[in-house]
Amino acid sequence: MIKRTLFFGNPAYLSTKNEQLVISFPEEEKEDKTVPIEDVGMLVLENPQITLTNGLLTKLIQNKAAVVNCDKQHLPSSLLQPLNGHTEQTERIRHQLSASLPLKKNLWQQTVSAKIENQARHLYRRGKNHRKLERWSREVKSGDTENHEAVAAAHYWQNLFEIEDFNRYQKGIPPNNLLNYGYAILRAVTARALISSGMLPGVGIFHRNKYNAFCLADDIMEPYRPFVDDLVYEIVATGEDIKTLNMFLKTQLLQIPVLDVMIDGKLSPLMVAMSRTTNSLYECFSGLSRKILYPVYE
């Protein structure tokens, strides 16, 4: 079942009754609304005047919903995650922590290759120079020792947007603001899937920053980034004013979890595909498989 993403940008009181998320508004003229908790995949909380009951938080976590809180800049800044995300969590974490260095290097090779291939496919769709990326995707070595990821990224961003002085930089000019928001949503989707698959999102196969609690999420989301780029490209192409990340733009970007992606020869909502990816990652850690299942940009 496709899970729903709920965004709250106005003051609200959120509680639960009869397995429903109950939404109450400060304005007396507005009626309460309800949403089945089992339908919620992600809850994005932006307004500081939102109140949640502990009972609701408990049910959301039990349902493996991602609860995302935003900062003063209205960007996702935190993710509430369960302590117990899978019935076999202890065993799965043990496999994850005992993964050999050669295995992790191989997994990173697969990840980088899949990312570059999807970037090439995206450039091809936009009629951009993609030949180099196609070649580089096939030349990635174990552990990406030649840093093809960075080289490919530089070429990709130089060719994707026809915007003067654009560089992919977190604090750079638009549409960096859209990309930042979209990647934050994607990161939350990835962390949710990793936890549901019984793994620690902070222990990566490549990313190792001791200040980063989502190293593995940052690893696994890489081949999915071009799907966010595609959505942002479409928004830019409409001519919409993107200088300010307004409610309309956020609404568009919050569709990321339900974007259709091609995985294993079939179309699937991105959130569902991500769960297949993280489950295949565990199978690699446990020795059942040697290949991570990633989507292919079409």
Distance of CA 149 to the CA centre of its chain: 18
Is 149 marked as a binding-site residue? Answer: yes
Query: Residue 171: what are its φ and ψ, rounded to 5°?
Result: -105, 20
Enumerate the H helices of the chain as residue ranges: 54-62, 89-97, 101-125, 131-139, 148-160, 176-196, 215-220, 225-237, 247-253, 270-286
String of b and e for 245-276 (b: at least 16 CB within 10 Å)?
Answer: beeebbebbbebbebebebeeeebbbbbbbbb
> Which residue carries 């001519």 as its tokens?
239
Is 298 marked as a binding-site residue? Answer: no
Whether the CB-CB separation of 245 and 279 falls below 8 Å is answered with no
Tokens of 253: 């970007």
Three-class secondary structure assignment of 23-86: EECCCCCCCCEEEEHHHEEEEEECCCCEEECHHHHHHHHHCCCEEEEECCCCCEEEEECCCCCC
Tokens of 166: 């654009």
Whether the CB-CB separation of 37 and 23 falls below 8 Å is answered with no
Is 117 marked as a binding-site residue? Answer: no
Binding annotation for Mn(2+): 149, 207, 222
Binding annotation: 149, 207, 222
